[in-house]
Chains A and B, each alone.
Chain A
Amino acid sequence: MKVASLAIIVVAVVALVIVGVFAAIYLTTYNNIVNLEASADAQWANVDVQLQRRYDLIPNVVAAARQYITYEGSILENITRLRSQWAAAEQTGNVNEINNATGQLEAEIPKFIITIEAYPDLKASQVVEDLIVELEGTENRISTERLRYNDAARDFNVAIKAFPGNLFAAGWGFTQKAYFEAKVGAIEPPQVP
């Protein structure tokens, strides 16, 4: 009688401890993943702010440069077209499309800056120089915030792939976050007229 009740108590305590430990792991894992997702999303918003800043800036640079650039007008057309393409991709909200459009725009901007710097008249213009400084500053901001987004996304992705997150993540409805990378392959060949 005494031994039996002792056994029951021991079994009950062990069961309670196991359930408690499991619940603790379950809850802390959930909270951890939620926090990581929130910081990745917040960092994505920071990237988006800078992409928007670039979108707003490009027409000013193009307008200022148009007065001087005469025979290489295609670069201005290209940049304007890729800017619109980016905006269209942004509307869809599809990360892959945004990545693709951003990569193409990103590949064109250094060419654009080099072209402008090759024009002595343009370089001498204070307005154009200031706009170029702003454009370069924006590009730097984008790459900085993007590195941080990738770090945050990596932390999140590891958390849902590694134990114990991998046991529950699918059930909670978490999916891998896409990394944000410039697509080197997306650079278009230079157009020969």
Chain B
Amino acid sequence: MRVTTLTAVVFILAFIVISTCIFPVTAYFIESEWVKEIDDAALEVDINTSAEIVVFVVPSLVGHGIKNKQGNEIDDIVELGVYIFNEAELETFDGSQIGIGKPRKDNGVLVLIAVEEQQWRIEVGYGLEGDITDVESNRIAQDYLVPLFEQGNYGEGLYYTVVALGNEIPSVNGTTPLVRGYYVYETEEVYVPEPWWAVSYYGLPLWLIILLASLGIFVPVYGSKRGRGGRSGGGGSTGKW
């Protein structure tokens, strides 16, 4: 009797664990082999110039759940770009950071892709508006992003766009100790509100956190903060493919 109850509990737990691992299946827009290439290219730019080039992909301008100060979901790619650039909390390798680019240098670039609407947006930080003018950002997108996207080579298109943007930014002497580490962000293809047992923080399912916490094992729920990064004000260019 006792043994069967125990077995049942073990089975139920195993089922939850396996289903949490299996169910959040997501298809990604950027082919996985290119994610690392893009990350490496952006890291090199960060090391050489201290500028941060971030790639952000949303499946659609509707349903991404990113809201402005008035609480409405942002459905305009320019406004969404400004919001992600300046207000969104994005993970870096050592804690989260608000604002792309280094503080006071404002040297960030955001490449935002809305898949369903087939729109791209390059948002340039205040500090780089001289190095990457609106016209230059548009040319880079027209030369690399648009033709490769039209062939369906999304990762490759983003890679060459990041490299070309990086080439516009002058390098600085000495390396920067404050590299960002992560440069590619992609939200899930379809936004589905998760059931309670699938909600997870930092890769751990919520029920496991509650279990560990109830056993007295300390789990940090909030990551460290890096503070404020760079700022932008709508500079750059927009288009479709």
Contacts and interface: CB of A to CB of B under 8 A. Distances in A.
B234 A134 contact: no
A127 to B, nearest CB: 10
A85 interface: no
B234 A143 contact: yes
B165 interface: no
A137 B134 CA distance: 6
Contacts of A129: 138
A143 B235 CA distance: 11
A134 B233 contact: no
B235 A133 contact: no
Contacts of A151: 69
A144 B135 contact: no
Main SS at interface, chain A: helix
A134 B134 contact: yes
Main SS at interface, chain B: mixed
B238 A141 contact: no
Interface residues of A, number: 15
B82 interface: yes
Contacts of B79: 143-144
Contacts of A52: none
Given A140-B78, A144-B82, A133 B69 contact: no
Contacts of A46: 233
A140 B238 contact: yes
B69 A137 contact: no
B230 to A, nearest CB: 15
Interface string A57-87: 0000000000000000000000000000000
A148 B238 CA distance: 21
B237 interface: yes
Interface residues of B, number: 14
Given A140-B78, A144-B82, A151-B69, A133 B234 contact: no
Contact of A134 (B69, B78, B135): B135
B69 A144 contact: no
A97 interface: no
Interface in A138-162: 140-145, 148, 151
B179 to A, nearest CB: 27
A62 B234 CA distance: 23
Contact of B233 (A130, A136, A144): A144
B82 A136 contact: no
A144 B236 CA distance: 12
A137 B138 CA distance: 10
Contacts of A145: 233-234
A144 B134 contact: no
Interface in B203-241: 233-238
B171 to A, nearest CB: 25
A72 B196 CA distance: 60
B233 A133 contact: no
Interface of A: 46, 129-130, 133-134, 136-137, 140-145, 148, 151
Interface of B: 69, 78-79, 82, 133-135, 138, 233-238
10 contacts: A133-B135, A133-B237, A137-B134, A137-B235, A137-B237, A140-B234, A144-B82, A145-B233, A148-B233, A151-B69
